[in-house]
Amino acid sequence: MGIFKANDIRGIYPEELDGERIRRIGYNLPAVLKAEKILVGRDARNSSDEIFDVLSQGIRDAGANVVDIGVCDTPAVYFATVHYGFSGSVMITASHNPPEYNGLKISGKSAVPVGPDTGLKEIETLITEPLAIMKKRGKVESLNIEDDYSAHVHRFLGRSSRLKVVMDCGNGAASIFIHDIFDDYFFDSCFLFDTPDGDFPNHGPNPLDKGSWVEIHEAILERNADIGILFDGDADRVIFFDETGNFISPDIITALIGQHYYGRKKSDKPMFYDIRSSKSVSEYISSLGGTSSACVTGHANIKKLLKSENGLYAGELSGHYYFSENFYCDSGFIAAAIVCDVLEGFHLPLSQIVQRINPYSFSGEKNFSVRSTEFVLEKVKSQYSDGDINEMDGIRIDYKDWWFNLRPSGAEPLLRLVVEADTIALMEEKVGEVSGFISSIED
């Protein structure tokens, strides 16, 4: 796959995503975004400063100005784009990918993502064409968003919390503003790896990698914490752990957030959940009097859906949570604030709350590297044709006491499998069965 992905531009720097391409991307952004000023933020990766310089050179060569907000998390760029009224922005990040990767997340007015059909394909074509020389070169100016951004996230915090909380920044971009936002809020808080370091020396930037869970698990138990919170490399994703240090599947967190909007606020607006989610999500939202629907994943799809359907919020199995009150954008900090506020009001251990929400057994995500995703999907669909098939996002096939979803990754040549069943034994059996069939296709 090339550097132009489904939702962003991403690759190994500088072997795949090289300086000349970045400069040319920058040069074409003002025309594609129809912007005289472009806001740019960057994560803590070692290559991000260098990419900022080259990208800015391209933007300025096109006659537009660059507004630099420095090292920050991706949701901070979304916030600043809307709050200060920019027509376009770029976040330099590779999110959860390993340190050698970097990339560009491009947004238009109102922080609307620029995807293949809204500018990315056009940029991919334009960067191969000759560059015109502009008479007037743009400039770089700086903007400090710290106070405004912190105040925005504070709107989602309840009153001072009695919780004991462990937060793991993973040496990523969450480190920049986390103390401004959460210091002095919790009764007892512990911040792990809250110094930005592009080498990610303590664990990788992918929060769904179990190797990233060791330290937070230990800290939760050592401090007798009520909850653990782990951010990805650019803090647009977040995952949670209960008081025993056990991982909580993000779809269950999606359901739990419903307590905030339906249990307390009694909203009549809909929410949306990843089609790979446990069926307990829709069941729990219904029990609160709310309305829910499955949706296709990907931040461009979900943001558009939330806005068009006047939705409240949405959650993905990847740990992205989107909020209409946050310009329909995803935010790890806001999700953390709401979940902690909900937990505070339950007066129960988080593990017990999770058990009440979800009685089913869920596999979590399993990845398969395949030669042709389309070929494998067709074979699997044929093999399980006796089930109830939904092709909204990959294939989801439901049976009476279990279901599975198999879908292609938007950024990598992978198929992602999740399985849910009424019992642990059945879930494990079906994971083995479907996995074995996929492997047999590739043999």
Q: Is the pLDDT of residue 284 over 70?
A: yes
Lowest pLDDT segment from 209-213, 331-335, 365-369: 365-369
Which percentage of the chain shows pLDDT scores above 90?
A: 92
Three-state secondary structure call for residue 159: coil
Q: Is the pLDDT of residue 435 over 90?
A: yes
Distance between CA atoms of 130 and 318, rounded to whole angstroms?
39
At 165-207, the pLDDT tens digits run 999 999 999 999 999 999 989 989 999 999 999 999 999 999 9
Domain 9-144 shares a fold with domain 149-357: yes
Average pLDDT over residues 315-337: 98
4 half-sphere exposure, CB direction, 13 A CA radius: 17
Average pLDDT over residues 8-30: 98
CA distances from 303 to 7, 58, 93, 180, 295 (A): 12, 29, 19, 27, 11
In the chain the first and final C-alpha atoms are separated, in Å, by 22
Tokens representing 187 are 């009764």
Give the pLDDT confidence score for residue 411 in this predicted structure.
62
Give the pLDDT confidence score for residue 260 in this predicted structure.
97
Residues paired with residue 88 on neighbouring β-strands, in sequence order: 108
Domain range list for the chain: 9-144, 149-357, 361-442
289 half-sphere exposure, CB direction, 13 A CA radius: 10
Average pLDDT over residues 289-305: 93
Which is the catalytic residue, given 56, 95, 189, 318? 95
Residue with tokens 């795949």: 16
State the chain's mean pLDDT as an integer: 96
Tokens representing 335 are 């999700």
Distance between CA atoms of 40 and 37, rounded to whole angstroms?
10
Among 416, 414, 415, 410, which Cα is nearest to 9's? 410
Distance between CA atoms of 193 and 223, rounded to whole angstroms?
16
pLDDT band for position 383 (cuts 50, 70, 90)? very high
Give the pLDDT confidence score for residue 160 in this predicted structure.
84
Q: What would the CATH number be for the domain defined by 149-357?
A: 3.40.120.10
Among 152, 149, 153, 220, which Cα is nearest to 188's? 220
Give the pLDDT confidence score for residue 442 in this predicted structure.
80
Are the C-beta atoms of 62 and 29 separated by less than 8 Å?
Answer: yes
Give the pLDDT confidence score for residue 41 in this predicted structure.
99
Are the C-beta atoms of 168 and 201 separated by less than 8 Å?
Answer: no
Which segments within 181-323 are labelled E, that is strand?
Answer: 186-192, 227-231, 238-241, 247-248, 270-274, 291-295, 313-315, 321-323
Give the pLDDT confidence score for residue 412 in this predicted structure.
74
Give the pLDDT confidence score for residue 278 in this predicted structure.
94
Q: What is the DSSP string of 284-353?
A: HHHHTT-EEEEE--SHHHHHHHHHHTT--EEE-TTSBEEEGGGTTEE-HHHHHHHHHHHHHHH-S-HHHH
Give the pLDDT confidence score for residue 62 in this predicted structure.
97
Residue with tokens 């260098």: 50
At 65-116, the pLDDT tens digits run 999 999 999 999 999 999 999 999 999 999 999 999 999 999 999 999 999 9
At 37-48, the pLDDT tens digits run 999 999 999 999
At 257-279, the pLDDT tens digits run 999 999 999 999 999 999 989 99
**HEC readout, 1-27:** CCCECCCCEEEECCCCCCHHHHHHHHH
Give the pLDDT confidence score for residue 368 in this predicted structure.
96
CA distances from 260 to 73, 156, 237, 299, 345 (A): 25, 10, 19, 22, 10
Average pLDDT over residues 109-129: 95
Between vectors from CA 153 to CA 150 and to CA 157, what angle results, nearest 5°? 120
| Global model pTM greater than 0.85 | yes
Give the pLDDT confidence score for residue 365 in this predicted structure.
83
CA distances from 288 to 135, 259, 266, 291 (A): 61, 7, 8, 9
pLDDT band for position 298 (cuts 50, 70, 90)? confident
Among 276, 353, 267, which Cα is nearest to 310's? 267
Are the C-beta atoms of 37 and 5 separated by less than 8 Å?
Answer: no
Distance between CA atoms of 377 and 394, rounded to whole angstroms?
7
Q: With the C-alpha atoms ordered 128, 129, 132, 138, is the resulting torsion angle positive or negative?
A: negative
Q: Look at domain 361-442 and name its CATH class.
A: alpha beta
CATH topology (fold) of 9-144: Alpha-D-Glucose-1,6-Bisphosphate; Chain A, domain 3 (3.40.120)
At 332-341, the pLDDT tens digits run 999 999 999 9
Give the pLDDT confidence score for residue 1 in this predicted structure.
59
Residue 287 is among the residues annotated as catalytic for this protein: no
Q: What is the DSSP string of 371-414?
A: S-HHHHHHHHHHHTTTSEEE-SSSEEEE-SSEEEEEEE-SSSSE
Q: Is the pLDDT of residue 346 over 90?
A: yes
Q: Is the pLDDT of residue 10 over 70?
A: yes
Are the C-beta atoms of 408 and 415 separated by less than 8 Å?
Answer: yes
Give the pLDDT confidence score for residue 159 in this predicted structure.
81
Q: What is the DSSP string of 68-116?
A: EEEE--HHHHHHHHHHTT-SEEEEE--TTS-TTEEEEEEEEGGG-B--G
Q: Is the pLDDT of residue 33 over 70?
A: yes
Q: Is the pLDDT of residue 428 over 70?
A: yes
